Amino acid sequence: MSILPQLAFLLILGVAGYILSNRIKFLRRNILLGKGETRNDQPEKRWQTMLLVAFGQQKMFARLIPAFLHLLIYVGFLVINLEVLEFILDGILGTHRLFAPVLGGAYTVAINIFEFLAVAVLISCVAFLIRRNVMKVDRFTKPEMKGWPALDGNLILVIEVILMFAILTMNATDQILASRGDEHYLALGTLFFSSMLQPLFDGFSDGALVAIERFAWWFHIVGILAFAVYVTYSKHLHIFLAFPNTWYSNLKPKGEIKNMPEVTNEVNMMLGIQSEAAPEPPAEIGRFGAKDISDLTWVNVMNAYSCTECGRCTSECPANLTGKKLSPRKIMMDVRDRAEEVGKSIDSGGPGLEDGKALLGDYITKEEINACTSCNACVEACPVNIDPLSIILQLRRYVAMEESGTPAQWNAMFQNMETSFSPWKFSPSDRFNWADKVKDEEMK
């Protein structure tokens, strides 16, 4: 028996592993371009958040129909890929259905479950293609979704449909060959879904059936390996990053805005308040806010790579709904695109972050970040706990504190808050005069 198929499989497996390893290193380095941040507190709550939100798909069910379709794909992805272990072992050892003799009747049950999920995934993918291209759901037609983002979403759905057909075709031809007495193929009993395809192949010769079955097998396993590499270049990277992304979620109340320690310490000193365990001032004054990805935290950059581009954040954003240019999804896509640009520049020996570009200005405009109301609707809507508001606030801080570039009305408000401790220009001692007037009215 020729060992060429095994050698070919090992070569393909090795190439896929090499490419995947390099891509993972590239992504890790890009994420760590952001500043350090420690989020290891409350481990029990972090485990709970990850299990409920990432593994349990908790926040998806705010919209029932797409959530149900996504659940079928998600469960199918997890369960069907258990069969990939057998594919890999068969490819390395040169065997065929290695686990069938070991599991007996349970193997037939398992294959029927895999086929059911394959059909469920196929139907769900077709439904999503219709939603994107026929129904044209509004959140998939925003300006930032033109070009590659739209193609990427459609491409992965089409690939999944083809891969599911490959499984059913492989099983159908496999069982026809087993029924004809081919010793290499094992009779598994009734396979409900693939048996419906068998009439399509009944008239084929044994040689043709073997060719079709082998092609479907190779297409599926090579397709799975190619898919694993492809997702690292795609929005579907969330398949893997959703888990660490939810683990490192911000567990503080959503209305709590993180203060800058440098500013907090300065204010405390001005007010004569002794800060507890105040950190030593840095040798060089850092940048206030964020201008580029290196000013953001690594969690912010990981958020960007975890974005699935589903648009739920943008569809809930009041600024976007009223026609303003802000789209929280675009903010995350821009951060990811900037990280990719910088990473590729570094790898090619280029200037990296010193390329004359910046996240603010070249990717994200002041008009976009000024439109944000800080309402946290985008954070609440995200299925994997991404926090676009954190990035927007850091960019806005840079504009206000480094450039003094905020709108004139804002500057007046900032000045009032600095001098009068409120947005309104009146003395703090007069702050509760209105209450006295109300009391006087009640006494009359």
**What are 92's two structure tokens?**
């390395």
Q: Which CATH class is domain 287-429?
A: mainly alpha
Residues of the chain with pLDDT under 70: 1, 270-271, 275-285, 444
Tokens of 351: 């200037």
Cβ(50)–Cβ(262) under 8 Å? no
Strand partners, 297: 35
51/56 Cα distance (integer angstroms): 6
Confidence (pLDDT) at 442: 73
CB 328 within 8 A of CB 342: no
Instruction: Spell out the alpha helix ranges (H) of 180-237.
Output: 192-195, 206-230
206-230 vs 4-31: helix axis angle to the nearest 10? 20
Classify residue 340 as exposed, middle or buried by CB count within 10 Å of its CB (0-12, 13-18, 19+).
middle
Q: What phi-psi label fits residue 303: left (phi over 0), alpha (psi between -120 and 50 degrees) or beta?
A: alpha
pLDDT of residue 110: 94
CA distances from 10 to 5, 7, 18, 83, 147 (A): 9, 5, 12, 18, 36
Q: How far apart are CA 336 and CA 307, in angstroms?
A: 9
Give the per-residue pLDDT at 436: 80
Bridge-partner residues for 364, per DSSP?
A: 360
35 bridge partner residues: 297
First-last CA distance in the chain: 105
Is 157 within 8 Å of 128 (Cβ atoms)? yes
Instruction: Give me the DSSP letters along 25-73.
Output: HHHHHHHTTSBP----S-HHHHHHHIIIIIIS-GGGGGSHHHHHHHHHH
**Number of alpha carbons in the 13 Å side-chain half-sphere of residue 131:** 17
- Backbone angles phi and psi of 364, in degrees to 5: -115, 130
Q: Does residue 36 contact residue 296 with C-beta atoms inside 8 Å? A: no
- Cα–Cα distance for residue pair 274/57, rounded to 1 Å: 45
The predicted pLDDT at position 272 comes to: 73
How many residues does the structure list for the chain?
A: 444
Provide the token pair at 380. Answer: 């609440």
pLDDT attached to residue 279: 56
Q: In this predicted model, what pLDDT tens digit does every residue of 392-401 receive, in sequence order?
A: 999 999 999 8
Alpha carbons 99 and 84: distance in angstroms, whole number: 12
CA distance 339 to 269: 37
